[in-house]
Structure 1
């Protein structure tokens, strides 16, 4: 499935991530302003490795006109158990529809895989985004120190 949106700077397309994207994805996670301050420890040593990309359904959003292939955002869908494990959009590109495009693509991938729902344990500041794209609040995932020292909203996407 090819998903795309047209922005003021060109077309944004979604493609399957490949092993050589690993460092870019790791930089995007570690550099996210959403994980500053109290949340910084959670991503300080986080790594999206080539093995993770090969094991899961990881897709990236790129600008079709960018010859360098700069990653603007990405998501990772785990099939068993069904979970949206990661979804990040570059800080300077948020609010332009890339996150919505990634969620739309994830839903299509989940549907093609025969899933009827996809769980999301959200970073607290991202809960509003997930709700705005149709995720339903189902509960709270308890803190798991030292990696995660705060409770997180648990949501799910229903996949019709």
Structure 2
């Protein structure tokens, strides 16, 4: 059972990290290099209603499972590692649902013809939250690898 849980935690956090990393290193630099009208057009073509809920629910499920592992573990180091992983995936869930998704919903309603007032600030908040959730997934994946090796 322990092995199956570790496989789930490693897989879940690693897939999440890979997806977030791809977005961080390729999609965001492309979007952030665009002028306002092109940015809005491109963002409105990306269906984030698929990704954000997956990030949230995957983060939440992995948080719960790793917290349970932390409680069940007799090894104090493993307890700490599972707790760190739970915290990291919790950051993924909270940043995805609490910051990124609401901003994305706003961008979907923007008109490329409207004023770009506030655009840079929103884009910056979305970017910072994305950085936080990428870091959270990296912390989680690293903690789960270390816990599995104990």
Query: 1 or 2, which has the higher helix percentage?
Result: 2
TM-score (norm 2): 0.25
TM-score (norm 1): 0.24
Relative contact order (alpha carbons < 8 A, sep ≥ 6): 1 or 2 greater?
Answer: 2
The higher radius of gyration belongs to 2
